[in-house]
């Protein structure tokens, strides 16, 4: 009896132990996915939070530059109504004075016509050899001109040169009306383009920069508005030209040009600061090393204006002066700005194009022959820094954001965007930020059904044992 009783007592204990182990095993299967889901949800919330956090913009740097305005005017003894210094490749403002004040720009207006002409040529809607027939409006337009008569025919390139170096108003109107059939319609295009370029303090009433009263009466717009631009907007326009159309200097560096064979004198470039003028007696004192553009202007209301650009040691600066008192002063004041910029700042590269970012060498992908794809930068990143400054952990931060794996499904093409990297630099002028795309440096084909099936099984057990191990 006693033996029978002992056996009956042990069996239930053994069964209970097996049942408990089985229950725990099953429970782990049911709970682990939930744990994984919770972890995934938390990660997703972090990703959403990170992606919705407003990025720091260059406003701080711009604000710092604004705060330096009064001291800039005093330090450089500037005799202008407004001024600005901008590095071309980054668009970073180094220094400014009253740069958001909307003022009459005079013939600097023509740079928008220049930009639109080059845009149309780039798009294949126009060519340099296209023949333009002079309209009545163009023939009646006075001021700086090449004396076009109604019906005269010249190529786009001939008229462009007359506009760019001689500031010919009639050539400008002829181009505008050829593109849009009327200057009124062209002005609409100018204002739309200004808005696209972020020129917030600009309004055009014509293609030339003439005051309304100086336009042919028959073609004057209604209303009392005049053309205005801020120095910042002028710089934005110059930057669009030099960055998007590097061929600009082929025309802006022409020192003189004979428009017609019968003309007794050539058109002389009104930009006295061209580097090539160092060999011209009358302009030698104004010639500036590296300067190859851009546009002068004058009206009684605007006084003398000039948008200049020069490149030295791989850095291109853009300067704008408005409201200078004399023809020569617009160049001497520009020299002060350029000297100040080239003396105190340099362009320093953080990372080059097609380079690997430390900490983001690969991006995880779904359904590929490989589970990751090598990653590089799409283009370079550089900041304007004080000369001699160095990047370190205190002044330079890096933030990588990869596209979630479930949204990167093979096949992956070479050059395909897989994320971004944002660099934030804090210098003496404030905080600047640049974001560049991260792209796949090679192709990854879609994996076969068998490969993906066995990878799924492998991943399941790896995750399972990792999760069990984490419980102890």
Write down the H helix ranges in 98-142: 110-122, 136-140
- Is 110 among the residues known to form the active site? yes
From CA 420, how far away is CA 437, in angstroms rounded?
4
Closest CA to 368 of 470, 451, 307, 287: 451
**CA 237 – CA 419 distance, rounded (Å):** 30
| Residue ranges in 307-441 assigned as alpha helix (H) | 329-344
Cis ω on the peptide bond leading into residue 411 (within 30° of 0)? yes
Q: How far is CA 213 from CA 98, 107, 140, 227, 255, in A?
A: 27, 15, 13, 12, 31
Q: How far apart are the first and last CA of the chain?
A: 44
CA distance 262 to 75: 50
Cα distance between residue 318 and residue 85, in whole Å = 6
Q: Compute CA distances 135 → 129, 149, 449, whole Å.
A: 18, 8, 69
What is the Cα–Cα distance from 287 to 347, expressed in whole angstroms?
A: 24
Give the 3-state secondary structure of residue 114: helix
CB atoms under 10 Å from CB of 265, counted, come to 8
Active-site annotation holder among 110, 236, 335, 336: 110
**Token pair for residue 231?**
């120095």
Active-site residue flag, 167: yes
Q: Which of 58, 81, 82, 107 is catalytic?
A: 107
How are beta strands 315-324 and 82-87 bridged, if at all?
Answer: antiparallel
Among residues 167, 207, 230, 367, which one is catalytic?
167
HSE, CB side, 13 Å, CA atoms: give it for residue 349: 8
The Cα 343–Cα 4 span in angstroms is 103
Catalytic status, residue 212: no
Q: How far apart are CA 119 and CA 194, in angstroms?
A: 13
Structure token digits, residue 445: 């084909």
Instruction: Find, among 93, 12, 99, 143, the residue nearest to 345 by Cα.
Output: 93
Which ranges in 77-196 belong to alpha helices (H)? 110-122, 136-140, 156-166, 169-180, 183-196
Closest among 360, 409, 345, 355 to 378, alpha carbons compared: 355
Question: Which amino acids are annotated catalytic?
Answer: 107, 110, 167
């Amino acid at each position: 009896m006693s033996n029978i009783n002992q056996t009956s007592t042990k069996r239930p204990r053994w069964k209970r132990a097996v049942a408990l182990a089985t229950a725990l095993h099953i429970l782990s299967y049911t709970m682990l996915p939930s744990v994984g889901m919770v972890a995934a949800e938390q990660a997703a919330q972090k990703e959403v939070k990170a992606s919705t956090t407003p990025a720091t913009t260059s406003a701080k740097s711009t604000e710092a530059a604004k705060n330096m305005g009064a001291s800039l005017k005093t330090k450089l003894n500037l005799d202008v109504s407004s001024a600005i210094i901008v590095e071309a490749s980054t668009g970073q403002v180094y220094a400014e004075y009253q740069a958001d004040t909307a003022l009459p720009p005079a013939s600097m207006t023509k740079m928008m016509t220049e930009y639109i002409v080059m845009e149309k040529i780039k798009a294949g809607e126009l060519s340099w050899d296209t023949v333009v027939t002079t309209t009545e409006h163009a023939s009646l337009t006075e001021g700086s001109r090449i004396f076009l008569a109604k019906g005269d025919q010249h190529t786009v390139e001939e008229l462009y040169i007359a506009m760019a170096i001689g500031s010919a108003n009639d050539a400008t109107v002829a181009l505008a009306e050829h593109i849009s059939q009327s200057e009124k319609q062209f002005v609409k295009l100018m204002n739309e383009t200004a808005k696209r370029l972020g020129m917030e303090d600009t309004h055009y009433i014509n293609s030339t920069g003439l005051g309304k009263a100086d336009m042919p009466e028959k073609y004057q717009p209604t209303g009392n508005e005049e053309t205005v631009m801020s120095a910042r907007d002028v710089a934005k326009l110059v930057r669009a030209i030099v960055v998007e159309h590097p061929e600009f200097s082929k025309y802006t560096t022409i020192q003189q040009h004979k428009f017609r064979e019968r003309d007794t004198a050539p058109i002389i470039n009104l930009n006295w600061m061209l580097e090539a003028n160092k060999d011209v007696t009358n302009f030698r004192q104004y010639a500036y090393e590296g300067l190859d553009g851009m546009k002068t202007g004058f009206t009684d209301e605007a006084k003398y204006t000039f948008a200049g650009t020069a490149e030295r040691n791989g850095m291109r600066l853009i300067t704008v002066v408005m409201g200078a008192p004399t023809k020569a002063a617009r160049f001497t004041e520009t020299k002060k700005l350029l000297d100040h910029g080239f003396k105190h700042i340099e362009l320093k590269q953080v990372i080059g194009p097609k380079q690997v970012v430390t900490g983001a060498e690969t991006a995880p992908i779904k359904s590929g022959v490989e589970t990751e794809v090598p990653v590089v930068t799409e283009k370079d990143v550089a900041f304007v820094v004080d000369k001699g400054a160095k990047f370190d952990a205190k002044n330079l931060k890096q933030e990588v954001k990869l596209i979630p794996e479930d949204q990167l499904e093979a096949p992956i093409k070479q050059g395909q965007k897989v994320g971004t990297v944002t660099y934030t630099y804090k210098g003496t002028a404030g905080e600047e930020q640049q974001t560049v795309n991260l792209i796949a440096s090679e192709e990854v084909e879609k994996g076969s059904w068998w490969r993906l099936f066995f990878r799924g099984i492998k991943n399941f057990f790896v995750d399972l044992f990792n999760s069990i191990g984490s419980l102890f």
